Each structure stands twice: as structure tokens, then as C-alpha cells.
Amino acid sequence: MTSTNTQFTFEITHSSDECSGRTGLLSTRRGKIQTPVFMPVGTQGTVKTLSPDELVEAGAEIILSNTYHLYLRPGTDTLDHFGGLHKFMSWERPILTDSGGFQVFSLKTMNKISEEGVTFASHIDGSRRFLSPEEAMRIQNSIGSDIMMVFDECSPYPIDHEKAKESMERSVRWAKRCRDSHPKMSRGQALFGIIQGSMYHDLRAESLERTAEIGFEGLAIGGLSVGEPKNIMLEVLDNLVPKMPPEFPRYLMGVGTPEDLLSGVERGIDMFDCVHPTRIARHASVFTRNGRIDLSSAVHALSDLPIDSSCSCFACRKFSRGYLRHLFKAGEILALRLASMHNVRFLICMMEEIRNALKNGIFIQYKNEFLSKYNNREQ
């Protein structure tokens, strides 16, 4: 597998002696991204509740947006009119877009899968829509994302070996069609392949081999964090990642709890994304070094403490848990903003620390100390 996209390079800056973890630098046409990286998710062209400036302040070097959602609304005509998503949403740094595959197969709007693509009903207005490898490339071209993903079939969990194999093979054929319709260096947009195969190591290995053979600028692991037990996900990673070519960025899709970030980095993953931090924030749940806390709880009513005293985010610099609790109880939008801002910053800060720990050869110590405090939950 080789890449000749000179507007997109990946350099490994340090490889750990303790584990499979490594630090790196992704260079895109819109700027550099230090890895391992957590990418906040802006499903509909905005990371929920946050402004682009706040994402920059949180240290986000790249965000993720969703082909499926942007295709349905505002649509490619609108995106083309505005010159792509970056200008539309006023975000100048890199954007990665998923291909819509995951949403088409998980939002239960599926209607008919054929070798050609998927016909489904829009969750917004019920209109009949069609996504295919070529269509997903076209849409991601309109979005103008810096890293595009191939259109794949995301298997549900559990799935038997035969069905998983069929699905994986279709994903490989679709990946080839994506590559064919988006040649290397086209518009400066990188294209990542996605490895499927559910929990079956032989299928994962075959998917990896055949996907890598097509030739992409990076490889993602799809179909995990879809309901399987945690140990299944870790076993897949333990088995699969060592076989992945080290010179390409490795992206574990849809994974982003603090525990999973540590597990993934240790096994050699470079990129993560998840709606988790912003979704739980809107339900008053925020990360602290001592575990997650529920800001709506009465125990915080008279607390002068910030959410996390080691955090540098706007919410922690300016407001007490007591005030945040009041805002949540009163149903105020500022509560959702401050909690989201904190959770995003918390994970990005964690990744900064992880990169430093890797470089300093103390990642395992960092991980153990982090988890020891995080799981202790003494406030």
C-alpha cells in the first residue's frame, strides 16, 4: 500500500518501547494534526452547542462531520453554493467525514441494499434517497472534507461468520469503487479505507489485506463499539492492529471514552472520534480526573469547586459546580454549552498528555495512574 498524495502525509514522530503506541503528525492541506488525536463530532455541520472559536480554544485540530446528515440537510446544492463545509460553518482547520455507511445501516431507515448501493428513507422527510460508493464520494467532494471515508457496510453485532464475510466482501468491492471514483490526490482530499469483519479475526485479516491492497491514505477500523462486549473489541484490536501497515494512520471509528482512548492508543491507534463527550454533557454528565459526575445532582448545589480543578476550559475557569447545577436544574442552554465545552477539552487535554507520556516513555504509568484515579471516584 502506497500513497502519493503529497498534500497528505503521515509521519511517525515516536514509537513507544512499552507498547504499540506511537505519536505522529498528520499533514493535510488545511493544517497539521498531532496524533494520537480525538476528533470532536459535528454531525450536522456544528459540534453540538459549540462555536468554531470554542473548538479552537479547546485545542481541536480536526473535527468530524457526517456525510449522511449533510447529504439530507442542507444538501449538496447548498454546500456547493457556499464552497464547502469549511466556509459554510466558518471552520478553517481539517474536517474528516464519515461516508454515511454507518448511519444508513444503523438509523433503521434502510430499505434495500443491492450491489449498486443502498436505497433508504430520509429520517427528516421520509423521501427516498440513494447512497452508493460513487454517491458518497460525490457528497464528500461537495463537503470538501480533508479526509474522506469509503462507503462501507457496517455489520450489526452479533452477526454470523457467513453473513459477516459477505458483508465484508461487499465493503471491499465498494472500497475499490470509492478509490476508482476518487483518484489519489484528487482535490487534495485524502481517502481512508475501512476494515470490517465483525469479531472474526480471519475476516478482519482478509478485509485488511484486500483493503490495503486497493491503496488508501489511511486505514480505519469500523464495526466496533456497536454493542459488542468490551473484551471483544480489545481482542479484535490485539489481533488486527499488529497486522496493519505501520506507515499509515490508523483510525478507530466511533470510539471515545477516556478508558477506550487509553486502550486504543496502547494498541497503536492514532485517531478516534465519538459523540460520547458532547452527548453525555447535554445530560449533565461531565468528566473529572476522579471519574464522571452528574452535575444535576443535589450534592453539587453548594459546591464552589470547578468541574475539574486541573482543567483549563472556560467552564472550569469561570464557574462553580453549584452554578452549573443551577443552570441544569433551570433548563438553561448555557449549562449544555459549558458541560460540552468541558468534556471536549477534557479529552483533547488527555490526548495531549498521552502524546507527552508516549514521548517520555511513561505511557503505561500514565495510563495506570489515570485509570486508578478515574475509577476511584473519590471526590
* Residue ranges in contact with its own copies by CB under 8 A: 44-46, 48-53, 69, 73-74, 78, 81-82, 88-90, 301-302, 304, 314, 318-320, 322-323, 326-327, 329-330, 332-334, 336-338
> For its own copies, which is the closer residue by CB, 8 or 68?
68
The smaller minimum CB distance to its own copies, of residues 82 and 157, is found at 82
Q: What's at 99, amino acid-wise?
A: S
- What residues act catalytically? 98, 273
CB closer to its own copies, 11 vs 53 = 53
Half-sphere exposure of 51 (CA within 13 A, CB side): 4
Phi, psi of 267 (to 5 degrees): -95, 5
Smallest distance, its own copies to C-beta of residue 91, A = 10
Distances (CA, A) of 368 to 81, 188, 190, 267, 284: 50, 40, 35, 15, 27
SS3 state of residue 129: strand
Shortest distance (Å) from residue 1 CB to its own copies: 37
Could you give the strand order of the β-sheet that contains 118-121, starting from the edge strand earlier in sequence? 110-113, 118-121, 128-131
Shortest distance (Å) from residue 264 CB to its own copies: 29
Residue 26, phi then psi, degrees to nearest 5: -90, 125
Contact 110, 118 (CB under 8 A): yes
Q: Cβ of residue 49: shortest distance to its own copies, in angstroms?
A: 5
Residues 355 and 348: beta-carbon distance below 8 Å: no
- Does residue 52 have a cis bond before it (omega within 30 degrees)? no
Residue (145 or 257) nearer to its own copies, CB: 145
